[in-house]
Amino acid sequence: MDAETAPDLTWEALLPPILASAGVAAGREFAVEPLTGGVSSDIVHIRFSDGRQFCAKRALPRLKVASNWQAPLERNHYEVAWLRRANAIVPGAAPQVIGEDRRHGIALLEYLPAEDYLLWKSELLAGRADPSVPVAVASALGSIHAATLNDPTAAAEFPTDHLIDALRLDPYLRFTAARHTFLADRILAVLAATAGTKLALVHGDVSPKNILVSKRDGHPVLLDAECAWYGDPAFDAAFCLNHLVLKSIHLPALGDILLDQAGRFAATWLGHFPAALRPGIEARAAALLPCLMLARVDGKSPVEYLSEINRQAVRDRAIPFIENPASGLVQLFDSLRSSTGQDH
């Protein structure tokens, strides 16, 4: 039996060995309850009769989206490796890894209960834009990038160019370029620059849906590092900033607030890099951002909350900056701020 057959096995069959090897089973009975929210994995909540709780995550070979999107199951192992490294750099920045079944693509993680954490995406969509959250996320992310900057051991631990291509570069950029052929050269040039940059450890899915915020002290917890890659940290920043930009269009009453928060995120994150590297990193993030904006309406994984009017508004804002990239993130946000509200 190998990882390709893992999705056909039940959790009841898969969990006892990994629980035992992690030293947490102790002969106790446990219940398994599915958790929702992801498109790339099956996730369950494990509750023991003595009150202990864990989370288990199993990668899927085909993602749960409308398009045919296949992805290697080995990504689960690299997610575990990213979570461990991130916690070593910024304690509490990721869930603790309790155990791993690499053969079946399963990670056993600490369970973070809803009564103790807020989901950043839910907060934003409800109109609660806490200004401390993007700064805290940018600080944690920048710390992880800075700690792994030009680190050959981190580069050797994450030989995942094929995974970032399958999970991000192809479904977001290459697929979108094929749908907008007049922009293809520009988008594919951004893709090539991203793929060719080997600078720091990248999470690859820094989205508000993957970020919990502690109710106790406000520290962010980054989830779902299946796209972990040693590459261009500009991708992480652009990916997260994109969500603030999209929500500024979706929630026009918060438009300027969210763009201001995007600016503070960018400044905080860039501040973690040596001054000599900042212009190049910022320029790559500014070129990536409009490509990702377009990808989230016309790529393989469109965001679900935008109306068709707002999808067109995203295209109208993104395309000019794909054709003529902004000099930096400040210029991009200023332009987006001046257009906020035109379509509402």
Q: Is residue 55 part of a domain?
A: yes
Q: How many domains does the chain fold into? A: 2
Among 95, 110, 125, the domain boundary falls at 110
26 sits in the region (left: phi over 0; alpha: psi -120 to 50; else beta) called left
Residue 60's DSSP bridge partners are none
Give the pTM.
Answer: 0.91
Pairing of β 53-59 and β 41-48 = antiparallel
What CATH number has the domain bearing residue 54?
3.30.200.20
Mean pLDDT for all residues in the chain: 90
Percent of the chain whose pLDDT exceeds 70: 90
What count of Cα atoms within 13 Å lies in the side-chain half-sphere of residue 190? 32
Q: Is residue 211 part of a domain?
A: yes
Indicate whether 47 and 185 sit together in one domain.
no
Indicate whether 22 and 102 sit together in one domain.
yes
Q: What is the pLDDT of residue 159?
A: 95
pLDDT digits (tens, 9 = 90+) for 63-114: 444 444 455 667 889 999 999 999 999 999 999 999 999 888 889 999 999 9
pLDDT digits (tens, 9 = 90+) for 200-223: 999 999 999 999 999 999 999 999
What secondary structure, in 3-state letters, does 233-279 show? HHHHHHHHHHHHHHHHHHCHHHHHHHHHHHHHHHHHHHCCCCCCCHH
- Amino acid letter at 195? A
Structural domain range at position 72? 3-110
Among 56, 81, 110, the domain boundary falls at 110
Indicate whether 96 and 76 sit together in one domain.
yes
Among 53, 86, 110, the domain boundary falls at 110
Distance between CA atoms of 6 and 60, rounded to whole angstroms?
9
Overall average pLDDT of the 286-310 stretch: 96
Q: Is residue 127 part of a domain?
A: yes
Q: Is residue 15 part of a domain?
A: yes
Any idea which residue has 């009769």 for tokens? Answer: 49
Relative orientation angle of helices 233-250 and 308-323, to the nearest 10 degrees: 140
Q: Is residue 344 part of a domain?
A: no
Burial environment of residue 93 by CB neighbours within 10 A (0 to 12, 13 to 18, 19 or more)? buried
Ranking 63-77, 172-186, 308-322, 330-344 by mean pLDDT, the lowest is 63-77
Residue 325 above 50 pLDDT? yes
Indicate whether 187 and 238 sit together in one domain.
yes
Indicate whether 126 and 64 sit together in one domain.
no
Indicate whether 227 and 295 sit together in one domain.
yes
Q: Is residue 193 part of a domain?
A: yes
Q: Is residue 207 part of a domain?
A: yes
Indicate whether 282 and 319 sit together in one domain.
yes
Residue 24 above 90 pLDDT? no
Residue 318 above 70 pLDDT? yes
Indicate whether 323 and 231 sit together in one domain.
yes
Indicate whether 303 and 259 sit together in one domain.
yes
Indicate whether 156 and 25 sit together in one domain.
no
What CATH number has the domain bearing residue 271?
3.90.1200.10
Copy the structure tokens of residue 341. 């509200």
Indicate whether 181 and 303 sit together in one domain.
yes
Q: Is residue 309 part of a domain?
A: yes
Indicate whether 48 and 192 sit together in one domain.
no
Residue 344 above 80 pLDDT? no
